[in-house]
Structure formats: C-alpha cells, structure tokens
Amino acid sequence: MSQSWTALARELSEASPFCRAFGHELVVAEPDRVVFRTSGQTEICRQTTGQWVGEALEVLASITAGVLLTTPGDEPGTFSAPYGATVRTLYHLRPSSSAWVEGEARWVRRGKSQAVIETVVCDAEGRELLRVLSQHAAIPEPLLFSVKESRLQARSANRRDPSP
C-alpha cells in the first residue's frame, strides 16, 4: 500500500491549485508522515516585511495534514477522504524571515470514529514556528475523488482567471 499511497500523494500535490499558489513542494510522502516545503517565492506567503504570514503557515499545516488524511481509492488515480469535520488547535505561532519553511504531519491517532494529526512547521534554521493539533471525525461514507478530475477543474479555473 505504501507505494500506491506515495504515488497518490505526489499526484495530489501536483494537481493541487493550493500547492501551486503557495509554492508547496512535496518532500516526503509516507503513509505515516507527510512533509511539504515552501520557499515563499509567492506573494501569498510573506508580508512586505519579509516575514512569513501566519495564514501561510496555517495553510501549509492544513495541506500537509490533509494529504496525510487521504487513502487510495479502488480505481487507479482515485482517492478517498474518510474523515470530515476538523477542529484545529494552534500553538507557538512565531514569525520568521527564513528562506523556506517546512511542514511535517504525523498521525497521533487513527481510529474508526476519529483521527488526530500533529503538524509542525519549522523554518530553515530548525525553529518551530507553528504546531497544530487537528482532530478529524470519521464520516459514514468517505468522499471519493479523482486526480484527473481535480486537474481538469484546476485547468478550467485557470482559464477563467482574468489575472495575467
């Protein structure tokens, strides 16, 4: 399963408009751990002061945990999301002017009715900038998605976007 899950995680990150918009690059994709890195080369990531914006760190943590929550579907190129509602608790939100930041998500608990993931965002110097504990409730019927459909939707949205 780990190989197919790893391939799925790569496909998801490549198809994600959020990963492109924020400059997130998948570094590690394992069934029990996901790591994304971003250099902050997009305007979304940093304030004019050169500091990492809190919301950008939160989005990095959210995307990293979200990929960890997925499971491969029955058909190639599909995935399911077996958990729904999320409650997040943020700790240690700190500023940094580092060249890049990295988010790492790991399972704390993966049960039938709920899952808990801890995501830590650190800067290039190894300083912890953000720690997020997220709780996810299992849903009766997992949501099913297709990577191909996600890519088509992203292309369609890009065509409608009037910005250069």
Is residue 163 a part of any domain in this protein?
no
Task: State the Cα angle at 112 between 106 and 115, rounded to 5°.
Answer: 30
pTM of this structure = 0.83
Give a yes or no: residue 160 inside a domain.
Answer: no
Q: Which domain holds residue 127?
A: 2-155
* Residue 138 resides in a domain: yes
Other beta carbons less than 10 A from residue 149's beta carbon: 12
**Domain-located, residue 53:** yes
pLDDT, residue 157, reads: 64
Strands 71-72 and 78-91: antiparallel
**16 inside domain:** yes
Write the CA distances from 45 to 12, 35, 96, 110, integer angstroms: 21, 17, 12, 31
Confidence of residue 5 (pLDDT cuts 50, 70, 90): confident
Asked if 74 contacts 136 with a C-beta cutoff of 8 angstroms, the reply is no
**pLDDT, position 26:** 93
Among 51-55, 69-73, 121-125, 156-160, the range with the most confident prediction by mean pLDDT is 121-125
Query: Which residue carries 């300083």 as its tokens?
Result: 127
Instruction: Supply φ then ψ for residue 58, to 5 degrees.
Output: -65, -40
Is the residue at 38 inside a domain? yes
Does residue 52 belong to any structural domain of this protein? Answer: yes
CATH of the domain at 25: 3.10.129.10
Looking at the chain, the whole-number percentage of residues with pLDDT higher than 90 is: 34
Question: Quick one: pLDDT at residue 134?
Answer: 94
In degrees to the nearest 10, what's the CA dihedral of 102, 132, 118, 129? 30
The count of domains in the chain is 1
Give the pLDDT confidence score for residue 158 in this predicted structure: 62
Encode pLDDT of 27-68 as tens digits.
999 989 999 999 876 666 665 567 777 788 888 999 999 899
| Residue 120 within any structural domain of the chain | yes
